[in-house]
Amino acid sequence: MLGFMNEEAFIKTEETGKVTFYSRSKHRLWTKGEESGNTLTVKQVLLDCDKDTLLIKAEPAGPTCHTGADTCWSEKNHSDDFLSYLEEIIDLRRKSSDEKSYVKQLFEKGINKIAQKVGEEATEVIIEAKDNNEELFLGESADLLFHFMVLLRAKNVSLQDVVYLLKQRHSK
């Protein structure tokens, strides 16, 4: 969405982590979702090259547009790529009441167990990389990526956060 933000709105956004605008029609601060509950949680704030415009990357809690659409530009909030979808599934299973869920069990065992699984899978990828069985190598690589994504979510970080950092490093 696009909104107007004055200095006071920016300060409140920084303090709360929820995107807050200055409503020029209401002449007051307005936190996105204050009535609907469809808030925007700040993930990253970027300043443009002229230093006169902010781009706030945020995680929406529900639709962003007042019409009920995901965005004000008729786009979907969630990426259509499979890794974003898998990240959503990981989040859903983390919160699931299904005690048989492997993901739920991993989260219940805690960060140390999740990190241990990433280490185990990384070792298995290294072992398979030394052999010539592409199928086994790909299988272990998929296991490593999956468990790494679980670890990221356990640390409340998204795969997209890692991608942003890689892009920043690339542009330097």
Mean pLDDT calculated for residue range 142-168: 92
> What is the C-alpha to C-alpha distance for residues 161 and 68, in angstroms, rounded to an integer?
26
Let me know if the fold of 7-60 is the same as that of 82-171: no
C-alpha span between 118 and 151 (Å, rounded) = 8
Take residue 73 and report the two structure tokens written for it.
């530009």
Decide yes or no: CATH 3.30.1360.70 for domain 82-171: no
Mean pLDDT, range 87-95, rounded to an integer: 91
- The 3-state DSSP class for residue 71 equals coil
CATH topology of domain 7-60: Ubiquitin-like (UB roll) (3.10.20)
Token match 């499979």: residue?
Answer: 82
Q: What ranges do the domains of the chain cover?
A: 7-60, 82-171
Instruction: Name the β-bridge partners of 57.
Output: 44
Are 86 and 67 a contacting pair, CB within 8 Å?
no
Distance CA 4, CA 2 (A): 7
Question: Is pTM, for the whole model, over 0.85?
Answer: no
Using one digit for the tens of pLDDT, what is the confidence trace for 127-154?
Answer: 999 999 999 999 999 999 999 999 999 9
